[in-house]
Amino acid sequence: MRKFIFIWFLGSVLLVGIISALGALWTGRTIRLAAWSFYESDFVHYIAQTAVRALDEGGVPALEAAEKHIDPDEKMRFLVFDTGMNEISGGPAPGAIRALAGRLRPQDKAQFQMYGTGLVAGSIVTAHDGREFRVIVWFPARRVGYVPINAWGWAGRIAAIVATAGLLCSWLAWCLSTPLMRLRLVARQFASGDLKARADASSFPSSLPEYRELARDFDEMAGRIETLVDSQRQLLRDVSHELRTPLTRLNLAVNNARHAPASAVEGSLDRIDQESERLNTLIDRILRLSRFDAFAAPPHREIIELADFMETIVSDADFEATARKRRVSLVRAGTCRLAGDRELLREAIENIVRNAIRYTPEGTTVTVDAWRENPSEYRIVVRDCGPGVPAENIGAIFEPFYRAPQRADPESPGFGIGLAIAKRAIGLHHGTITACNLDGGGFEIAIRLPVPAAAV
């Protein structure tokens, strides 16, 4: 990965360099012309003055001698025009060069123009007697290459730029790849089965906040997966344990029915029917619990008038409790409209109330209090008169298949799933559920449901 990032960065630098070089080649004529204009303006003007001085002193022969003195290798051509654009020396002049000579102005500095692969430059010089001459210097292609640029100096600069870019790319590649490699190793460790492997976001450099966020997200994901896998494993163990007892009873009842006399078979069949019903109930509750785990929000939403909703639930629960010599009373039912899944909320609250009925003593009353505690929250509190739950076990009563030891009811044993279902259902509505022992005896479960600001 580090090599890839390094190559990517270096490739980007080289690509920029290549594009710059191509641009330089594309505009090379302009660059060379600008270079000559900057560096050689005085040189051209000196040549023009020397040529005119020789012409003024000795005529054309003196001008030709001056030209040879200035450029013994004859790598340049000199063309001189008088005010009437007549060629005095160096002709015949091509049309483009004659046109440049015609454009020269006395007040201008030396003018340059690309011509073919070479360069021409011109300047107007006034002789001693007042005559003006237009002097054109024609530099062939081999001479243009001698623009005063230090090739070795530029090569050294380019090499220094490439070396610096390589070092910078190496440093950037190391900075960017090291955290990713760490995260990759942790991900592989997690994928190999170590569900406690974490990236530890605090150990990532603060100069790379995006990597810290990525590590934090990874740790959060890993924690959720670990919790989910652990809960699934615990659920499998609990289901296996819960199924073992009714299946054992079924086997015993079947065995008794096979060997018992005909008059005693009916009792064994009743036991089989009872255990079968218990298995059906257990499997139905397990399926409900698993479906709740798959939801991220209530599958169905409708507007619920909570006052009428609570009155109906309490009325039905009181009817069931009367048969067990207990009562359920509604202290109050505050008015509030809430968008949610009616059946999920009903099942959650009924499970809590039924759980309270199961553990409150005979002749006592389970109270239900529901009101809008503040504009953004609706609260439901269920209290019983039972023995309560040991303080160290309160946090576990909402886990599947957990049954508090002090609240065992031999007459109607539960599966320990009702409160777990209630917690899942309330959580799907973004609410919370808590439990506590009451000071004067009894047990309380409180539900808090968020209410939108528009709710009435």
Phi-psi region of 445 (alpha: psi -120 to 50; beta: other; left: phi over 0): beta
pLDDT digits (tens, 9 = 90+) for 84-102: 888 777 667 788 878 888 8
Counts of helices then strands in the chain (DSSP H, E): 11, 12
The share of the chain scoring above pLDDT 70, in percent, equals: 73
The mean-pLDDT minimum among 25-34, 243-252, 309-318 falls in 25-34
Looking up tokens 């190391």, which residue turns up? 174
Q: pLDDT tens for residues 110-132? A: 777 777 766 788 888 887 777 88
Q: Are 304 and 345 in contact (CB under 8 A)?
A: yes
* Cα separation, 390 vs 437, whole angstroms: 8
Q: Is the pLDDT of residue 409 over 60?
A: no
Do the Cβ atoms of 385 and 441 come closer than 8 Å?
Answer: yes
How is residue 252 written in tokens?
């015993």
Residues 357-382: what's their mean pLDDT?
Answer: 93
Fold of 212-294: Helix Hairpins (1.10.287)
- If one counts every other C-beta atom within 10 angstroms of the C-beta of residue 348, the result is 27
- 272-318 residue pLDDT tens: 777 777 677 667 766 666 666 655 556 678 899 999 999 999 999 99
Q: How far apart are CA 34 and CA 144, in angstroms?
A: 12
**What pLDDT shows up at residue 32?**
54
Q: What global pTM score does this model have?
A: 0.49
Q: How confident is the model at residue 422 (pLDDT cuts 50, 70, 90)?
A: confident
Three-state secondary structure call for residue 361: coil
| Whole-number pLDDT of residue 38 | 47
Is the confidence at residue 396, as pLDDT, over 50? yes
Using alpha carbons, select from 316, 314, 346 the residue that is nearest to residue 329: 314
The residues facing 247 across adjacent strands are: none
223-258 CB burial, b ≥16 within 10 A, e <16: eeebeeeeeeeebeebbeebeeebeebbeebeebbe
Give the pLDDT confidence score for residue 148 in this predicted structure.
47
pLDDT band at 445 (very low <50, low <70, confident <90, very high): very high
Label residue 450 by pLDDT band (50, 70, 90). very high
Candidate list 241, 259, 300, 430, residue with the active-site label: 241
Higher pLDDT, 260 or 394: 394
Residue 311, pLDDT score: 95
Of 229, 318, 243, the residue nearest 278 (C-alpha) = 243
**Comparing 248 with 28, which gets the higher pLDDT?**
248
Tokens, residue 75:
């790598």
- When mean pLDDT is compared across 7-21, 53-67, 136-150, the lowest value belongs to 136-150
337-340/365-374 β-pairing: unpaired
Across the beta sheet with 77-81, the strand order is 87-89, 77-81, 132-139, 118-126, 111-115
Least-confidence region, from 137-151, 179-193, 320-334: 137-151
Residue 203 has pLDDT above 50, yes or no: yes
Strand ranges across the sheet with 377-384:
327-333, 365-374, 377-384, 443-450, 432-437
**Per-residue pLDDT band at 167 (split at 50, 70, 90):** confident
**In whole angstroms, what is the distance from residue 344 CA to residue 267 CA?**
38
pLDDT reported for residue 141: 54
Q: Give the model's confidence band at 72: pLDDT under 50 very low, under 70 low, under 90 confident, else very high.
A: confident
Say what the pLDDT of residue 242 is: 62
Is pLDDT of 6 > 70?
no
**How many Å apart are CA 44 and CA 36, to the nearest integer?**
10
Task: Look up 241 and say whether it is catalytic.
Answer: yes
Q: C-alpha angle with apex 92: 90 to 98, nearest 5 degrees?
A: 95
CATH, range 41-144 = 3.30.450.160
Residues in the chain: 456
Contact 122, 100 (CB under 8 A): yes
Q: Write the CATH number of the domain with boundaries 302-450.
A: 3.30.565.10
Q: Domains of the chain: which residue ranges?
A: 41-144, 212-294, 302-450
Residue 284: φ, ψ to 5°: -60, -40
- Percent above pLDDT 90 for the chain: 17
Q: Measuring CA to CA, which residue among 201, 198, 206 is closest to residue 225? A: 198
pLDDT the model gives residue 101? 81
Amino acid at residue number 103: R
- Does residue 145 register a pLDDT over 50? no
